[in-house]
Amino acid sequence: MFKRRPVLVAYAGFLLFFLYFPLLVLSISSFRGGPTFYHWYRRAFSDPQLLLALRNSIAIGLGTTVFSTLLGTLAALGMRKEQFWGRVFFESLLNLPLVLPEIVMGLAMLVWFVFLNITLGLFSVVLAHTTFTVSYVTLIILARLKGMDPLLEEAAADLGATPWRTFSRVTLPLLLPAVVSGALLAFTLSFDDFLITFFTAGVGSDTLPLRIYSMMRFGVTPEMNAISSAMLFLTLGAVLTVFRLRKD
């Protein structure tokens, strides 16, 4: 066992190096080559097209977060409380967006929007992002619900609390870390998504990933390194917050 430990440590170190060294190079490159360390960040965020794409990404991310958190919370509560026919099938459907290729989802949403005569734009992207982020939110909250002690809610009911008061004073505070974790994860997934957005975004609704892709066709620039690093830092902060909340 002890003889294998150096080999495992070396393998783990190589794997981490292989995965994260390109991100480290990207981050370092975004601070080099300018008169000041934040020069390329200032140049990037002075571009009106990049700022518009950033505003679109934030708006889509917030809209997706609201819809997916609300729908995911209600779905998790309903699946925990009610035993209905086809529940196993419904839970399997929740896992489908997690394994379905994004190109399939993006094309399917495009065909669906065309069939319903829905104009492609910010709202269509929000709807498309909600279809896959709601699964993450539901599963996170459902896992939290399954780990809760039902005796707490029963005790509140025995003391005369109404169902709403039990939910607002007992259930919701215990669920809040999972709800916030799901919301942050939904925002991060929506903010970073490219493929589904590529199929469902209309004219004037380019997001930051789409804008970066358009810029890459003319070569990699320091501004691209800066904006990509900013997205990396935002995503990393959200993911660390999610892990911290789930741990608590």
The pLDDT tens digits of the residues spanning 186-238 come to: 998 998 899 999 999 988 888 988 888 887 777 777 777 788 788 788 778 77
Pair 198, 210: CB distance under 8 Å = yes
Element (H, E) at 50: helix 48-81
Residue 246 pLDDT grade (very low, low, confident, very high; cuts 50, 70, 90): low
Distances (CA, A) of 91 to 76, 132, 209, 212: 10, 14, 31, 36
| 3-state secondary structure at position 160 | coil
Q: Encode pLDDT of 98-137 as tens digits.
A: 888 889 999 999 999 999 998 899 999 999 999 989 999 9
pLDDT of residue 86: 67
Domains and CATH numbers, the chain: 41-247 (1.10.3720.10)
**125: which 2 tokens?**
């992207």
